[in-house]
Homo-oligomer: A and B are copies of this chain.
Amino acid sequence: MIDAQVSMPEYLLQQLNWRYATKQFDPDQQISEALWTRLEHSLVLSPSSFGLQPWKFFVVRDPQLRQQFQQYAWDQSQVVEASHLVVFAYKRGINASDVDRYIQRVASVRQTPIEDLQGFSDMIKGYIDRVSDIDAWSARQTYIALGMFLSAAAMLGIDACPMEGFDPDKVDQALGLPEQGYASVALCAAGYRSEEDKYADLAKVRFPAEQVIEYVG
């Protein structure tokens, strides 16, 4: 997979340059089960504030549902043609009981008495209490996972297309998210670019580094 002649720093930038928002996927090329398992796991491992993971990821495989989602998403063909489609959703109204559930998980994974985590628990509860718009906060966290996913896909040579252009209410209804307490914020198609995707050959457009990075001191 890795060209032994390429060092990791070179490989990283090569792949970040290689990736692009794929418009046309090859519908005949599926991500192998082994590779998908790895890519999916990048979502599980994604960092979040306090490690709270205020999110859920829905992998939509049902072809009829994906056709329906295409209609909800400006008719973008990626929704049906890519190997995989992931709906990124945040948990609505994160509150103290979510923190309790997380703290129980910490206690279980680290085999720590729950009493020893009281201070950590109180700190998180105090913090989320002061967040002015908790849903906006959880949505932001979910975009960290989106960034991790896009980066992981690039490292694995998998093409991806993140999409915000869709009707979240309709997607939420179709997946039963309101009942589960989640709300979608982004779709991401993953698979392999079609040889016919003319966007693949366009130069990547970024502002010059000196316009987006400023050194202070």
Contacts and interface: CB of A to CB of B under 8 A. Distances in A.
A44 interface: yes
Nearest to A136: B136
B144 A45 contact: no
Nearest to A9: B38
Interface in A109-168: 109-110, 127, 133, 136, 139-141, 143-152, 155-157, 162, 164-165
A107 to B, nearest CB: 9
B105 A150 contact: no
B12 A127 contact: no
A61 B147 contact: no
B217 A63 contact: yes
A38 B13 contact: yes
B16 A42 contact: yes
A49 interface: yes
Contacts of A185: 140
A150 B152 contact: no
A164 B140 CA distance: 11
Given A13-B38, A151-B151, A205-B106, A212 B53 contact: yes
* Closest 10 A/B residue pairs (Cβ): A147-B147, A62-B217, A151-B151, A143-B143, A61-B217, A144-B147, A1-B8, A9-B38, A16-B45, A147-B148
